[in-house]
């Protein structure tokens, strides 16, 4: 395993990776963690997922639920900030305090501005993928969950409008807030990650300081993962997460999944997605 320690105690950068589910965040996260100065690949940051959803939910009902206990909202924010710092310190310490701590969860994308305000040394990488491929993949998960009789937000999607709205919600806030991030926010297309890894990871390296040598990020190296998240056998035991499994998680980066929607999606559905997500498609030059 790479030497990821930070002996000179350089200021640590925390890189949060987000984007819509099925947009290639897991594959990109896995490749990012091949850096010489980062932690190995670890599972999604579920604690932060729960923490910031709890925070947002309670802020929306603050006066009736929290004000008599915390007073000013800033006191409640400090509690969340304390928990965030403790989490980051704990995870960082487990992996010898790497120069770049790389964490990922798609559902955190809508909370990136809040996290940035609480963590000044953070940067944010948002993965974008062709909406047509993403929705095609989400449809596959939907079918698997229904077959397994698993009740999830995805299993409740019915119409193309549902799917498009579900996809768009990941990016709505980040687009509205992107000017606030200044130089701490970067968008990367999944298609560039898998088809032009050397060029794309050089850009990411300049953005966050992660160090890559050659095209090592292309290969799956089991020694660079500390998570059963990339174990097919472990994932198949969970009826929810098994539906998300992709064989590409443990294979070399490949452009083979680009444009897969063409084989599974009717032309009328493709046109409707392009209409409903016109702005997104044009912004990232998908159509």
User: Residue 7: what pLDDT?
Assistant: 53
Tell me whether residue 32 is in a domain: yes
Tell me whether residue 95 is in a domain: yes
Phi, psi of 4 (to 5 degrees): -105, 5
Find the helix packing angle between 131-147 and 267-276, rounded to 10°.
110
Tell me whether residue 7 is in a domain: no
184: tokens are 């701490």
Task: Using CB atoms within 10 Å of the CB of residue 193, give its burial: 0 to 12 exposed, 13 to 18 middle, 19+ buried.
Answer: buried
**Distances, alpha carbon 159 to alpha carbons 31, 182, 256, in Å:** 34, 36, 27
User: Residue 190: what pLDDT?
Assistant: 98
Q: CATH number of the domain that 90 lies in?
A: 3.40.50.300
User: Residue 1: what pLDDT?
Assistant: 40
Q: Is the pTM of this model over 0.95?
A: no
Rounded average pLDDT per 10-residue block, the chain, 287 residues: 54 97 96 96 97 97 96 98 98 98 97 96 97 96 88 92 96 95 97 96 97 90 85 86 87 94 96 96 96
Tell me whether residue 39 is in a domain: yes
Tell me whether residue 114 is in a domain: yes
* Residue 150 structural domain: 13-283
Tell me whether residue 4 is in a domain: no
Considering its fold, how many domains does the chain have in total? 1
User: Residue 107: what pLDDT?
Assistant: 96
Phi, psi of 21 (to 5 degrees): -60, 145
Tell me whether residue 1 is in a domain: no
Is 17:125 a contact under the CB 8 Å cutoff?
A: yes
Tell me whether residue 213 is in a domain: yes
């Amino acid at each position: 395993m790479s030497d990821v320690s930070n002996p000179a105690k350089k200021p640590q950068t925390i890189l949060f990776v987000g984007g819509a589910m099925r947009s290639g965040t897991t594959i990109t996260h896995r490749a990012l963690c091949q850096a010489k100065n980062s932690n190995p690949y670890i599972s999604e940051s579920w604690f932060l997922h729960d923490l910031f959803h709890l925070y947002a939910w309670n802020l929306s009902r603050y006066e009736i639920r929290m004000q008599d206990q915390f007073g000013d909202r800033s006191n409640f924010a400090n509690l969340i900030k304390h928990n965030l710092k403790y989490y980051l310190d704990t995870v960082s310490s487990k992996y010898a305090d790497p120069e770049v701590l790389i964490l990922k969860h798609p559902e955190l994308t809508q909370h990136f501005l809040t996290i940035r305000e609480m963590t000044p040394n953070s940067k944010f990488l948002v993965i974008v993928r062709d909406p047509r491929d993403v929705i095609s993949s989400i449809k596959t998960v939907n079918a698997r969950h229904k077959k397994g009789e698993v009740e999830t937000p995805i299993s409740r999607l019915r119409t193309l409008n549902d799917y498009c709205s579900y996809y768009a919600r990941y990016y709505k806030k980040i687009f509205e807030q992107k000017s606030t991030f200044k130089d701490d926010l970067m968008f990367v297309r999944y298609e560039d990650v898998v088809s032009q890894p050397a060029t794309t990871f050089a850009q990411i390296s300049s953005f966050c300081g992660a160090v890559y040598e050659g095209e090592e990020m292309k290969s799956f190296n089991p020694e660079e993962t500390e998570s059963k998240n990339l174990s097919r056998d472990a994932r198949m035991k969970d009826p929810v997460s098994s539906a998300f499994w992709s064989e590409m998680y443990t294979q070399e980066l490949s452009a083979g999944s680009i444009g897969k929607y063409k084989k599974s999606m009717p032309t009328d559905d493709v046109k409707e997605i392009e209409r409903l997500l016109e702005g997104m498609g044009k912004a990232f030059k998908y159509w």
